[in-house]
Structure 1
Amino acid sequence: MAGSGKKMSLVGLTTLVAVNMMGSGIIMLPSSMAQLGAVSLLSWLITAVGSMAIAYCFAQCGIYCPRSGGMSAYSEEAHGKSAFFLCSFLYFLSLAIGNVAIGISAVGYLTPFFPWLGSGAIPLFVGTLGLIWLTTVANFGGPRITGKIGAITVWGVIIPVAGLSVIGWFWFEPDIFIAAWNPHDLAISSAIEQSIPLTLWAFLGMESAAQNFDAVEEPKRNVPLACLFGTLGAAVVYVLSTTVIQGIVPNAELANSTAPFAFVYAQMFNPLVGQVIMVLAVMACVGSLLGWQFTLAQTAKSAADQGMFPRLFSRMTARNAPVIGLVVCAALQTLMALSTISPNASEQFGKLVNLAAVTNLIPYVTALTGLLVIMYKARVDARIFARNGVLLLIAMLYSYYALYASGKDAVFGGLLVMAFGYLLYGSIAKNFVERSRVQPDDARGWL
C-alpha cells in the first residue's frame, strides 16, 4: 500500500476540485448575464449554496458506495437497473450538449481574429463544427496525450479570470455598475430565476469531485471537505470576476461582446493585452473541449461495458482510445449544433446551457436520492444520517428550483429525451432479467 506521503492532501484535492470545475464554464457567462443586468449576480449566492450541498452529497455517496459507475451506480441503489441506464443516457446527452456550448464559446473568442466567424449563423456553425471535429481527432492519440494537454490549457482561463477577480477592482467604477444593475426593470425574483441555469452551468462537473477517493489522505474526512472548499473557492472567483466586469464595461457593450474577458482586459490595459487574453481563452476552451470529448466517449464506453449502450462504444484502439465512440459522439454533436443554429453566439450558448442544465439535473436527482439507501446499507451513525439528510434536502430543493428556472422549453425538451430513454431501455431490459421458467400451458395465456 502506498504511504500517506504519496497521497493527495486536503489542500491539493481542494485545488484540484476548483481547477476541474472552473474549466471553460465561466468564459461566456459575463455576456449572457449582462443581457439581464447585474441583478443576475444574485443567483450566484443561491447556486453556490446549492452546488456545495450537491458536491458534499456526492462525496458522501462515494464514501459509502465504493462500487464503480458513479452517478449511475448511486441511482441504481435507489431506483433499480433502469435508473442506471437513464442516468447514463441523460448525463451522456448533457455532456454532448455542453461540448457544443464550449465550442461556441471558443468561436466567440476567435471572432476578433477571424471576423467571418461572427458574420452570421452559418459561419458560427462552421466554426463550432470545426472545433468539435478537431478535438475529436486529437483524442485519437489516447488519454495520456489528452490529460497532458488539458492540465496545461485549463490555466488559460483560470489565470485571466482569477486575475480579474483581484486586479479588476482598480478599474471598477460604481456608476457603471449601478447603471448596469437592472436595465430592463426586471423583478428580482425573475432575474434570479432566468440566470440560475447560467450560474449552474459554471458548476457542472462538481459530481466528479469524489472520484479521487483512493488517492487522498484520510478520504472520509478530506473528500467531503475538499468538495465544499473547492466549490466555495470556485464560487468566490466566479462572483468576484463577474461582478467586477460589470463595473468596468458598460452593460450594453458587455451584453453584445463575443469575448467578454478579452474585452475587459483591452479596456483595462490595451488591445494587445486583450488579444493575449483571447488567445489564452481559445486555448482553454480547446483544451477543455478536448478533455470533455474524451470524457463523453468514456461515459458511453462505461455504459456499453454494462450492456446499456451499443457495443461499438466499447471498442478501443491500441492507444486505449475509443475512436469509434469519439466519431459517433462528434456526429451527434454536429446534429445538436445544427438544431440550435443562431446568428448570435450568446443566444445559442444560452439555449444550450438551459438544455444541458435539465439533462444534468435529472441524473443529479436520481443519484442523490440514492444516498438515503446507500447510508442505510452502510449502517451509518444516526447523527451522520441526520446531517447528510439535511444537506440532501438543500441539494434537492436547489435542483428542483434549477429545473423550474431552466424554462418550459428546456424542461419539455428534457422530458421528451427522458421519455425516449425509457423506450430505449425497454428494448434492452430483457438482457438484465433472468428468463423465467414458464410451462407451455401457462404460456398460452399470454398469446
Structure 2
Amino acid sequence: MSTENNLQQVTSEKTEFKREIGVFGGVSIIGGIMVGSGIFYLGSYVIERTGMNLGLSLICWIIGGLISLMGGLCYAELGSAMPRAGGRLLYLNEAYHPSVGFLAGFTDWLLGGPGSVAAIAIALPTALRFFIDINDTGIKVFAIVLIIGLTIYNCFGVKLASILQNVSMIAKLIPIVIIMCGALFLGKITPDLSLASASEAAAASGGNIITMIAFAVVASLWAYEGWTNLNTVAEEVKNPRKNLPLALIIGIGGITILYTLFNFSIFKVLTHEEITNMIGEGNFYLGTAVAKKLFGSAGAIIVTVGMVLAMFGSLNGLIMAQPRMYYAMAEEGHFFKSYKKLHPKYKVPTTAIIIQGVISIILVMSRNLDELTTLVVFTGMIFNFLTVLAVPICRKKFPNIERPYKVWIYPVSVIITALIFLGLVVNTFFDDPTSAMLGCIVPVIGVFFYIYFDKKLKKEEKR
C-alpha cells in the first residue's frame, strides 16, 4: 500500500512540467493518435473477419468504440484523481504493486510505444506508393527519417509538439470529412445491413457468431488504439481534474461516431461485390476506391493527403505522449535515472524521447506492419483490463482522496468493461496464439528488469 506521502504526491497538481495542454489540445492528442491510417484500411479487416457481412462490421465498430469509451471513463476517474505523468503505470502502482505498474511501463517501453511508432511510420510511406515508386527498403528508410525528425522536434517542448498536434488534427479531418460527406450524399447504393449471413459465415469458418465478433472487434480496436495516451501527459494538462475527463469523453465519443459513419459511407458507394473482390485481391484501401469513384483522379490525391496527415498526427502524438510513462518509471526509482531528467529549458524527458526513437527504428528494420499491430493491441488489452479493475481497488484503498470525476453507472460499467477486455485477451490466444505468446514474452523479460532495479533502489535507500 502506498505511504501517505506518496499518495499526496500522486494526487497533487504541483509539477516541474509546464501545464500547457487545454481541452482542445487534449482532444487533439487523443484524436491525433487514434485517427491514423486505420480509418482507411482497417474497415476491410473488420469486414473480412465478420464473414463479409456489412451490418455486423458496423456493429463491431460501434462495440469497439463503446469498449474504448468505457475504458476511457475508467481512465478519466483515475487520471482526475491522480493527475501525474505516467498514466496507467501510476494507477497500477497504487492499485496493485509497483511491479505491476513497472511491467506495464516496461512493455510500453520495449514494445507498445515504439511498436506503435514503428507501425505508423511504416504505414505512412506505404500510402504514398500510389504516387511514388518506392520499394520496401525505401519505405523503411522513409520511416526512419520520419521518426528521427519528429523525435528531435519533440525535444523542444510540449507546447511546440501540442501546436503541431492541433494543426495536424484539423488538417487531417478536412479530407476525411470531404470523402465521408461526399459518399453519404452522393452515394446511390442502399447497402444490405441485415445479419442473416453472419451465422452461416461463422459456421463455415468452424466457429460461432460471438467469437467472430470478438475477432473483428480486435481489428477495430487497433483503429481506436491511443486513447490511453492522454493520461501519460496528465502532468502537462491545464486544470487536469476537469479537462482530462472532458477531453477523453469528447475525443473517444466523437471518434466512435466518425469511424462508424466513415465505414457506412463506403457502403453507399461500393457494392458488396466490389468490396468482396477488393479484399479478396488484397486491396484493403476501400476509402481510396470511394474517393476515386466520387472525385476521379483528384479523389486519389484527397485520400492520400488525408492518410498522410492522419498518420503524421498519430506519429507525433505517440512520440510526444509515450515517453512520459518511462519518465514516471524512473521517477519512482525502478528505471534508468537518466529517464527522469527533464531538459532545463524545455521541461521534457529528453532521454526517454530519444531512446524511444532508437527502439522504434530497430523495430522498423526488424518487423512488418501486421505483426506490429497485433502485438501492440494484444499487450495493450492485458494492461487495460488491469487498469479498469484498478478503479474499484483504488476506491476501496483510498476512499478519501478527491475524485472530481467518477465512472458512470458504477460498478456495472466497470465489471462489463473488464470482462470484455479479458474476453478479448482469451479470444486472441485462440485465434492468434503466436502473437499472443510473443506479447507475453515482453512482460516476462520485464520481471527480471524489475528485480534488478528494485534491488538497486533498496541498496540506495539503505545508504
1:349-368 aligned at under 5 Å gives the runs: 349=370, 351-368=371-388
2:411 to 389, 411, 424: 389
Instruction: Quote how far apart the aligned CAs of 1:204 are.
Output: 2.2
Separation in structure 2 between the aligned mates of residue 137 and residue 214 of structure 1, nearest angstrom: 22
In structure 1, what is the Cα distance between the partners aligned to 2:342 and 2:30? 31
The amino acid of 1:200's aligned partner reads L
Partner residue of 1:325 out of 346, 349, 352:
352
| TM-superposition CA deviations, 1:8-67 (whole Å, max 9, x none) | 999x69965863564315243234335443343332232222222111111122234455
CA deviation string 1:183-223 (max 9, x = no partner): x944544442322222112222323456489745983xx86
AA aligned to 1:340 is R
> How far apart, CA to CA, are the structure 2 residues paired with 1:218 and 1:416?
36
The worse-fitting range, judged by mean Cα deviation, of 124-133 and 398-407 is 124-133
TM-score (norm. length: structure 1):
0.79
Q: Does 1:235 align with 2:256?
A: yes
Query: Does 2:42 align with 1:29?
Result: yes
Counterpart of 1:132 in 2: which secondary structure?
A: helix
TM-score (norm 2): 0.77
CA gap 1:337/1:238 in 2 versus in 1, 3 angstroms: same
Deviations 1:253-299 (A, max 9, x none): 36744754344212211212321331242133223212312323333
- 283-292 vs 28-37, which moves further: 28-37
Q: Does 1:144 align with 2:159?
A: yes
Report the secondary structure of 2:263's partner residue. helix
Question: After the TM superposition, which residues 168-247 of structure 1 pair with which residues of structure 2 at under 5 Å, given as runs?
Answer: 168-174=183-189, 185-187=201-203, 188-208=209-229, 211=234, 215=238, 219=242, 224=245, 227-247=248-268
Alignment pair present for 1:114 and 2:132: yes
Correspondence for 2:339: 313
Q: What residue identity is the alignment partner of 1:397?
A: L
Counterpart AA for 1:19: G
The match for 2:322 among 292, 296, 299 is: 296
Check the 8 A contact 1:76/1:370 in 2, yes or no: no
- Residues 1:225 and 1:312: Cα distance change in structure 2 (over 3 Å): closer
Which whole-Å CA distance do the structure 2 matches of 1:177 and 1:385 have between them? Answer: 37
Assess, with a 3 A threshold, how the Cα gap between structure 1 residues 260 and 106 changes in structure 2: closer, same or farther.
Answer: farther
C-alpha contact 2:29 2:230 (8 A) present in aligned 1: yes
- Counterpart of 2:434 in structure 1 is 409
Contact 2:73 2:249 in 1 (8 A): yes
Of 7, 12, 19 in structure 1, the residue corresponding to residue 31 of structure 2 is 19
**CA displacement at 1:419 relative to structure 2:** 0.6
For residues 407 and 152 of structure 2, the distance between their equivalents in structure 1, rounded to whole angstroms, comes to 46
Deviation at 1:330, TM superposition (A): 2.3
Specify whether residues 176 and 138 from structure 1 end up closer, same or farther in structure 2 by C-alpha distance, changes over 3 A only: same
Contact 2:179/2:303 (8 A) holds in 1: no
Corresponding position: 1:71 with 2:118: no
3-state SS of 2:71 partner:
helix
The code of the aligned residue for 2:410 comes to N
For residue 166 of structure 1, what is the amino acid of its counterpart? C
User: Secondary structure of 1:141's match?
Assistant: coil
Among residues 62, 70, 80, which one is paired with 1:45 in the alignment?
A: 62
Give 3-state SS (helix, strand or coil) of 2:318's partner. helix
Amino acid at match of 2:394: I
CA distance in 1, matches of 2:118, 2:88: 22
SS of the equivalent of 2:130 reads: coil
Q: State the match for 2:123 in structure 1.
A: 105
Partner of 2:389: 369
CA contact (8 A) 1:8 1:215 kept: yes
Give the drift of 1:361.
1.8
Q: Is the 8 A contact 1:136 1:293 kept in 2?
A: yes
- Is 2:431 the counterpart of 1:418? no
* Conservation of the 8 A alpha-carbon contact between 1:13 and 1:216: no
Q: C-alpha distance in 2, partners of 1:283/1:295?
A: 18
Contact 1:354 1:410 in 2 (8 A): yes
Q: Deviations over 1:224-266 (max 9, x none)?
A: 5664454222111111102221442421336744754344212
Task: Render the CA deviation track for 1:131-170: whole Å, top value 9, x for unaligned.
Answer: 3233223334333332222211122332233444433123
Aligned residue number for residue 9 of structure 2: none
Indicate if the aligned counterparts of 1:213 and 1:223 stay in contact, CA closer than 8 A: no
5+ long unaligned stretches in structure 1: 2-6, 342-347, 438-447
Structure 2 equivalent of residue 440 of structure 1: none
- 405 and 268 in structure 1: CA distance in 2 versus 1, 3 angstrom threshold: farther
Asked whether the 8 Å contact 2:89–2:102 carries over to 1, the reply is yes
* Structure 1 residues 218 and 352, CA gap change in structure 2 (3 angstroms): closer
Q: Percent identity?
A: 19
Q: Given that residues 175 and 305 in structure 2 are in contact (C-alpha distance below 8 angstroms), is that contact kept between their aligned partners in structure 1?
A: no
Distance 2:384 2:459 in 1: 30
Return closer, same or farther for 1:373/1:67 CA change in 2, 3 Å cut-off.
farther
Are the counterparts in 2 of residues 83 and 366 from structure 1 also a CA contact under 8 Å?
no
Indicate if the aligned counterparts of 2:340 and 2:349 stay in contact, CA closer than 8 A. yes
Distance 1:262 1:130, change over 3 A: farther
Distance in 1, Cα, partners of 2:408 & 2:321: 34
Q: Which moves more between the two structures, 151-160 or 310-319?
A: 310-319
Q: Could you tell me how far apart the structure 1 residues matched to 2:125 and 2:440 are?
A: 30
Quickly say closer, same or farther: Cα 1:149–1:204, change in 2 above 3 A: same
Tell me the number of residue pairs that the alignment of Structure 1 and Structure 2 aligns.
417
Distance in 2, matches of 1:164 and 1:212, equals: 37
Change (3 A) 1:214 1:374: farther
Structure 1 Cα separation of the partners of residues 29 and 312 of structure 2: 20
How far did residue 105 of structure 1 move?
2.4
Match of residue 344 from structure 1: none
